[in-house]
Amino acid sequence: MNKTRRLLVALGALISASPALASDALPQFTIAYFNGSCPEGWDNASLGDANGRFLVPTMQGGGVGSFAGKVLASQQEPTHEHRKASGSITTSSKQFILIGGCCNNSLASAGTHAMTGSAQAASDNLPYIQYNVCMKLTPPVTTAEVPAGLSTFYMLPTCPRGWNTVNAAAGRYIVGLHTTGIPGATYGGKPLAPGETRVHSHSMDGTMNLAAHKIAGASGCCAKNYAGSGDVNFTGKTEVDGTSAYDSVAQAPYYTGTFCRKE
């Protein structure tokens, strides 16, 4: 039994156990948010994997009801971290008049040196608001109408009659329109692929100060290739090895549904 068939069987069982009728014109299997409990004819139990996740329009080639990312607890602050960072630092070079042997030690050699480290977990400062996500279990009331242009999620792979799939939104998080925004405009990277948890890296650059270390000697030739003190620049990047669920673009867990617009 394939995934869609199993989903239909589960929905059928749920509907049989929920005789209350919804008094609205939205199609059966519509998914929407409510600021409180689900109304009569709507239910949350079949959408357990959507709780604590953002709803995202199903990706091209993806399945309805798929999900990725760690569930957010109530009012949890999303975070992410980078477990590995690497780069290089290049020092200046100094030379001295010295005699090899004891005890001109504790010196560093000049040149380019590798550096490694890790980044601590930090907040994504991802703004969000919590609402109850519910699915309609009963057929629409034929005497009521749905406004043209209304867009919402649907639990089946195809939109119901009189609705069209919004393909431009597939695989993208939906954000409320800014007062100066353009409706339907897309931003950011390419849409999510089915099952994808997107990762990213950071470029690093900055300055380090190498403290001076005094030795007995005179500046000159030809004991050379010693690192000089002072400010030196470094470059590098963070790396993602796929071992941490927190190495995500914004640790924004998602649940997919068909996104439909009323004709």
For residue 35 the two structure tokens come to: 């600021």
Cβ atoms of 183 and 261 closer than 8 Å: no
Mean pLDDT calculated for residue range 89-94: 78
pLDDT value of position 90: 81
For the chain, what is the radius of gyration of the CA atoms? Answer: 29
DSSP letters for 89-153: EE--EEEEE--SSTT--S--B-SEEEEEEEEEEEE--------EEEEE-SPPPTTS-PPTT-EEE
If 0-12 CB within 10 Å is exposed, 13-18 middle and 19+ buried, where does residue 223 land?
middle
Does 246 score more than 50 pLDDT? no
Q: Over the chain, what is the mean pLDDT?
A: 79
Min mean pLDDT across 54-63, 155-164, 210-219 is at: 210-219
d(C-alpha 257, C-alpha 66), whole Å: 8
Q: Is the pTM of this model over 0.75?
A: no
Does 243 score more than 60 pLDDT? no
Closest C-alpha to 166, from 60, 252, 63: 60
Q: What is the phi/psi pair of residue 128, to 5°?
A: -155, 165
Kindly report the number of other CB atoms within 10 A of residue 23's CB atom. Answer: 13
